[in-house]
Amino acid sequence: MAEIQQNDAGGGKKGRQKKMAIRVDFTPMVDMNMLLITFFMLCTTMIKSQTLTIALPTNEKIENKENLNQASAEDAVTIILDAKRKAGSSEVDSVNGKVVPVVYYYEGKPGGDEGIIGADGKIHHENNNLKESAFLSSDAKTGTARGIRELIQKRNKAVLEKITELKKKYENGGFGSLETKEGREKAQEAYNKAASEIRRDSTLAKPVIIIKSTPNASYESLINVLDEMQINQIAKYQIDNMTQIDSVMVLDYRGMLNK
Amino acid sequence: MGRVKIAKKSTFIDMTAMSDVTVLLLTFFMLTSTFLSKEPTTVITPPSVSEDKVQETNYVQVLVSPKGQIWLTMNNDTSADYSNEKMKMALLDKVTEIYNEQHKNKPVKFTDQQKYAFSKLGSFGVPMSQMGEFLNLAIKGQEGQTDMDKWLDGTDNNPNHISGIPISKEQDENHLSEFQMWMKAMRQTDNPKLAEKIKDGSGVAIKADQNTSFEVIHTVMDNLQTIRMNKFTFLTALKGASE
């Protein structure tokens, strides 16, 4: 390939030239190309980052408290994010420079109807309804939810069942044919619309999740919990500040308060 | 018996095909590559199931270090009307205006040369009071570049040099932190596409390390909420839904 054959047309004449092959050595060219490829490979970012969109309420003080939407106690699930601490202290215990997430939750009011701090101003340990959970993915084999996901799925069962039905309908072409690209896009759009309607359906029992976090919890666990909201089709959730009661419950749970 | 003669074969390997392949690969990488911009701190973004892709143009990146320092990057359109250089010069003018309004006794002023130097910066993040000094380094060109990098990394051993835009937990609409001033100025940009994206939330991307404490993130979110930028995005890495 890298040679040029020189055939002399004439023949039989006296000063006939020898057949010559001109060969071009491409090795240095390949070397240089490889270097350039290496350079470009190292300099580029192939994987684009993903983004997670979040909308928060404004910080403006609301004058008229009656206008506030209060989550009813039976719908409310409070998730408290924290980091693993060293035993008996509030220092963060990190493993290999990584903060280990810890997640607590309670359903309904803190401390139940009685309240953790009774009328006498003392702490009632027996009323502490805080439980510890973990960020666990679904079981790889059976697909059953574990950890905090199990709780959320249990609470959001009505919505999830409808969504599963909807997904089946989508897969069977209930929203239009999935054969062509255009059809798929259209079906996807219709599916998204129907799914969002189900998520907001007020007749279905669904939880309102309040996400709280201690200052030491990692950003990763915040993203994790927001992911869980997305995975489990939670329509109503909010990020809120820890109250004093919440702190008391966490400290009490960890046994840091004297009995 | 005569010896068996082995014909001498040429060891020449034809590299043409190889060369063809490498040139093809090279072309591919050249066309697909987007260069990594140098950032003052390296962060590992947390994994998430979210599949929304990051914006390529017209967005503001808020880089947050685990210590709570903040650097901003403004990415504008590729069109000449709203180029990065033009928009950044306007941005500096606007933020100077907002800053001087709040710090009437200590106003800052920038020369045209400094403004031009600012427009060439990638990510930026020093307090306004030190911006002039920082931009003077930028004017010096290559020599100043190393000093600027050292300043941002905190390795220049000058305790007066602060890296990162100041942010404060105690802020309200009349006492804005410098971070809020920058974000306000970003929102007032003349670039209509960027302004629209900031409004719907896709134009503000917060990039932070996965080990950053919630306190730091909360301060950033709170600062944005005060200036009514309630919608924004977090940059995350891809994670499978099954994980």
- Does residue A105 sit in the same domain as residue A166? no
- Does residue A164 sit in the same domain as residue A111? no
Inter-chain residue contact A58 with B230, CB threshold 8 Å: yes
pLDDT tens digits, one per residue of A197-222: 888 777 778 888 889 998 888 888 89
Average pLDDT of each block of 10 consecutive residues along chain A (259 residues)? 58 63 85 91 73 78 59 82 81 80 86 73 77 81 82 86 85 78 83 83 83 89 88 84 85 75
For A132, the 3-state DSSP assignment is: strand
Query: From CA A109, how far away is CA A132, in angstroms rounded?
Result: 16
Please give, rounded to a whole number of angstroms, the shortest distance from the CA of B210 to a CA of chain A. Answer: 5
Give the per-residue pLDDT at A126.
75
Please give, rounded to a whole number of angstroms, the shortest distance from the CA of A36 to a CA of chain B. Answer: 7
For B59-167, strand residue ranges (E) read 59-64, 70-75, 123-124
Please give, rounded to a whole number of angstroms, the shortest distance from the CA of A7 to a CA of chain B. Answer: 21
User: Containing domain of residue B70, as a range?
Assistant: 47-105+163-238
For A92, the 3-state DSSP assignment is: strand
Inter-chain residue contact B47 with A140, CB threshold 8 Å: no
- Does residue A190 sit in the same domain as residue A229? no
> Residue ranges of the alpha helices (H) in B13-66?
16-32
Q: Which one of A26, A40, A57 has the shortest CB-CB distance to B33?
A: A40
Nearest Cα to B214, choosing from A217, A183, A147? Answer: A217
- Does residue A77 sit in the same domain as residue A171? no
pLDDT tens digits, one per residue of B174-232: 788 899 999 999 988 888 888 888 888 888 999 998 888 899 999 999 888 888 888 88
What Å distances lie between residue B32 and A20, A47, B26, B28, CA to CA?
Answer: 43, 11, 10, 6
**Chain B touched by A4 (CB under 8 Å):** no
Residue B194 lies in a domain: yes
User: Containing domain of residue A254, as a range?
Assistant: 72-144+209-259
Q: Give the residue carrying structure tokens 């215990």.
A: A93
Structure tokens, B26: 């090279």
All residues of chain A having their beta carbon less than 8 Å from the beta carbon of residue B24 are: none
Give B239's pLDDT tier (boundaries 50, 70, 90). confident
Number of separate domains in chain A: 2
CB atoms within 10 A of CB A181: 8
All residues of chain A having their beta carbon less than 8 Å from the beta carbon of residue B237 are: 47, 49-50
All residues of chain A having their beta carbon less than 8 Å from the beta carbon of residue B236 are: 49-52, 223
Give the per-residue pLDDT at A106.
87
Give the per-residue pLDDT at B64.
92
pLDDT tens digits, one per residue of B85-116: 888 899 999 999 999 988 888 888 899 999 99
Which residue in A has a C-alpha nearest to residue B25's C-alpha? A37
- Does residue A81 sit in the same domain as residue A163? no
Given a cut of 70, whether residue B121 has pLDDT beyond it is yes
- Does residue A134 sit in the same domain as residue A247? yes
H or E element that contains B142: helix B142-153
- Does residue A134 sit in the same domain as residue A218? yes
For A109, the 3-state DSSP assignment is: coil
Residue B144 lies in a domain: no
Structure tokens, A207: 């939880």
Please give, rounded to a whole number of angstroms, the shortest distance from the CA of B118 to a CA of chain A. Answer: 25
Inter-chain residue contact A27 with B235, CB threshold 8 Å: no
Number of separate domains in chain B: 1
Inter-chain residue contact A219 with B217, CB threshold 8 Å: yes
**Contact yes or no for A26/B15 (Cβ under 8 A):** yes
Give the per-residue pLDDT at A69.
61
Residue A32 lies in a domain: no
Inter-chain residue contact A33 with B217, CB threshold 8 Å: no
Inter-chain residue contact A44 with B17, CB threshold 8 Å: no
Residue A38 lies in a domain: no
- Does residue A94 sit in the same domain as residue A217? yes
H or E element that contains B206: strand B204-208
Final residue in a domain of this structure, among A190, A205, A220: A205
Residue B187 lies in a domain: yes
**Contact yes or no for A85/A54 (Cβ under 8 A):** no
- Does residue A216 sit in the same domain as residue A199? no
**Contact yes or no for B26/B39 (Cβ under 8 A):** no
Residue A99 lies in a domain: yes
- Does residue A76 sit in the same domain as residue A138? yes
Residue A238 lies in a domain: yes
Which residue in B has a C-alpha nearest to residue A40's C-alpha? B29
Query: From CA B46, how far away is CA A137, in angstroms rounded?
Result: 16
All residues of chain A having their beta carbon less than 8 Å from the beta carbon of residue B238 are: 47, 50
- Does residue A129 sit in the same domain as residue A86? yes
Give the per-residue pLDDT at B62.
92
